[in-house]
Amino acid sequence: MSRSVKVHSALTTVAVATIVAACASSAQAQAYLPPKGEGSVSVLFQDMAVTYHFLPTTQVDRGHIRGETLLVDVTYGLTDRLAVSFGIPWVASKYTGANPHPLVDSSGEIPVLYGANPIDDGTYHGTFQDFRFDIRYNLLTKKGLALTPFVGSITPSHDYTYFAHASPGRHLNELQVGLSAAKLLDNFVPGLFVQGRYGYGFTQQVLDISHNRSVMDVEVGYFLTPRLRLMGLSTGQLTHGGVDLTLNSRVDLGPLLFSHHDQIDRLNFLNLGGGATYALTGKIDLFGSLIHTVAQRNGHALEYGATVGVTWGFSTRRAGNRAITSTEHSLAKCVCEKSAP
């Protein structure tokens, strides 16, 4: 690891530790917050399938990937305007195909690539991925409009393998800042709303290559009944920097860059889909969605990402008497944006 990577990693770790000391969260953020003393626990299961790789914009079949993710997320309202969240995903994935990643011997200055990576052996490999934290502060809730800035972090839970088709993640620290917004559109169509999020991620540099990213989510939803909500979903990413992959990246990038290409590729994508949420009781919501990649630059494109989940709302002795509408209460517990991979 170069000196600049160590310095950047140390600075990111300090920033993450500051957020964790304040409290915790998932890097996905909603604009409506739970009242003081109230919170929710969400458990989501996602099945993902990848059929094609993009190099950088050419669609090629280099083998297929299946991934199963279980995400546990806890959100809690410290005050009526301040909420924190914490999440950790368990990821099990497998690669099947004739192009497994090689093994890397990084004992020298220039790594040596050889053999076949055991992570890409056609069987599932499971492990915890990255801790996700955020803290949100509601600036405005008026006339159905909510604006909520957030600060979040992503940090690896342990030293997992990142160089493999079936790797659980990128193994990078990241600090995110952004804004969530929501607007109830009852004046136009009763039960209609839109909410979204923009975040800018300051991502740990690798090999002195900057590859910060912008992440965006938009949901347009409609309460078909007070209990049943239908929605259209989109999630996207633009990487600022990074490197493009090629049809022969192993040769074109060279062994050093190639051994880190899963971390530093210029990954841009747009996923679209839909879903529904049903309030089983006043405290329990059920959720399901399906998304598909419609545009991609570099990396793995989702053939589909199918998600099901359940959210349980709870109250503590600190709970106040803040009056919120049933719609705001439902959106404060929303697991929709957290379903995006």
| pLDDT confidence of residue 5 | 43
* Average pLDDT rounded to a whole number, residues 137-141: 95
Task: Give the chain's radius of gyration (CA, Å).
Answer: 20
pLDDT category of residue 109 using cuts at 50, 70 and 90: confident
pLDDT category of residue 1 using cuts at 50, 70 and 90: very low
Q: What is the value of pTM for the model shown?
A: 0.85
161: closest CA among 237, 201, 103, 74?
A: 103
| pLDDT confidence of residue 328 | 59
CA–CA separation, 51 and 299 (whole Å): 11
Residue 335 predicted with pLDDT over 60: no
Taking the CB of residue 91, how many other CB atoms lie within 10 A of it? 24
What DSSP character marks residue 204? P
Q: Supply the CATH classification number for the domain 3-339.
A: 2.40.160.40
Is the model more confident about 163 or about 335? 163
Among left, alpha and beta (phi > 0; psi -120 to 50; other), residue 46 is: beta
209: closest CA among 172, 169, 159?
A: 172
Domain ranges of the chain: 3-339
Q: Strand (E) positions, the chain?
A: 38-54, 59-60, 64-77, 82-96, 103-105, 112-114, 125-128, 130-137, 140-142, 145-156, 174-184, 192-203, 211-223, 228-241, 268-279, 284-297, 299-315
pLDDT tens string 166-211? 999 999 999 999 999 999 999 999 999 999 999 999 999 999 999 9
Residue 4 predicted with pLDDT over 50: no
pLDDT category of residue 333 using cuts at 50, 70 and 90: low
Residue 68 predicted with pLDDT over 70: yes
| pLDDT confidence of residue 340 | 43
Flag the least confident range among 164-173, 245-254, 324-333: 324-333
pLDDT category of residue 30 using cuts at 50, 70 and 90: confident
Residue 13 predicted with pLDDT over 80: no
Is the model more confident about 87 or about 30? 87
pLDDT tens string 269-322? 999 999 999 999 989 999 999 999 999 999 999 999 999 999 999 999 888 666
pLDDT tens string 228-245? 999 999 999 999 999 999
End-to-end Cα, the chain, rounded Å: 28
Flag the least confident range among 10-24, 114-128, 180-194, 246-260: 10-24
Residue 61 predicted with pLDDT over 80: yes
* Average pLDDT rounded to a whole number, residues 215-236: 95
pLDDT category of residue 3 using cuts at 50, 70 and 90: very low
| pLDDT confidence of residue 323 | 55
Among left, alpha and beta (phi > 0; psi -120 to 50; other), residue 162 is: alpha
